[in-house]
A = this chain, B = another copy of it.
């Protein structure tokens, strides 16, 4: 209900025609240059986790949102809200992570702002990053480009980010330590574009995970998505941890995973390109025409089940 209320409340703020408004960012022209622009605020708890921290997350998250628009990420801004008393050493670590992540992703942090709020009026540190990139995809990337027959290719194994965070929160020390998948996705997307693959839709699997991303795409594109559950890569330690933590790997956030919806005859090339970045890349399903509104069906070993939108947020403050 809250989500519906907020959605209804925010939609009128945005001036754009719907086609200009794709999920992970906005796309527009300035003086002949085709640009993408996106923003995200990061409130993850804990600030530091195996495989990253709020700084790596803030850089990679915004880099990935630009990549999902079919853009080459170039420039990022940094807005911080510090709670009075926040440890300078922690701030130093986060800042160093941001610089390192920016270098790794090939983007520049070019402008910033810091605000300090009184003790008890914040929570240590919140980080906003916004990003500007150059559109490199030659055709539009959007759920509405998805066609029956498209293959769904996943870039690697899922659920690691959420498990890494929850393990720290719950004080569980899995052996070996499960690390977040937090990583920049721009290089692999740009490789897909460079190799001429017709990308119908891209989506990174953050809040709500793989299931939510697919449900949103199926509904927006009015198609049925059939997923092959055994084909969806989840590592054994992550699967075990999900059982202990009571998490469904399909519904939890990843920070370095995405899906590409491409014509069936491009699936093999998509896979082989993505495997150069991550061996776990796999075709996990396909798109069919929908009788009514869009839906996602999961083919399990035992039969079929429909995936539904989660009610509420499974994991608060995961990013």
Contacts and interface: CB of A to CB of B under 8 A. Distances in A.
B126 A15 contact: no
Interface stretch (A27-35, A151-159, A174-182): A27-35
A20, A39, A79, A91 pick with most chain B CB within 10 angstroms: A39
A122 B108 CA distance: 29
A117 interface: yes
Given A75-B28, A79-B39, A79-B40, A98 B13 contact: yes
A15 B120 contact: no
B6 A114 contact: yes
Interface string A94-137: 01001100110000111111111110111100101010101000
B39 A111 contact: yes
B77 A37 contact: yes
Given A14-B109, A115-B41, A122 B122 contact: yes
B80 A41 contact: yes
A92 interface: yes
A310 interface: no
A56 interface: no
* Interface SS majority for chain A: strand
Contacts of A121: 122-123
Contacts of A99: 12-13, 15
A21 B9 CA distance: 36
Given A74-B30, A111-B38, A88 B9 contact: yes
A74 B122 CA distance: 31
A20, A41, A88, A108 pick with most chain B CB within 10 angstroms: A41
A316 interface: yes
A77 B111 CA distance: 15
A78 interface: yes
A41 B79 contact: yes
A16 interface: yes
Given A10-B114, A117-B123, A121-B122, A26 B75 contact: yes
Nearest to A114: B6
A208 interface: no
A9 B42 CA distance: 20
A71 to B, nearest CB: 10
Given A12-B95, A123-B122, A20 B110 contact: yes
Interface string A242-265: 000000000000000000000000
A298 interface: no
Contacts of A75: 26, 28, 37
A81 interface: yes
Given A6-B114, A10-B114, 6 more contacts: A15-B102, A21-B110, A39-B130, A41-B115, A128-B130, A130-B130
18 contacts: A6-B91, A10-B112, A10-B114, A14-B109, A15-B99, A15-B103, A21-B110, A21-B111, A26-B111, A31-B34, A31-B134, A35-B35, A37-B111, A39-B78, A39-B112, A77-B130, A121-B123, A122-B122
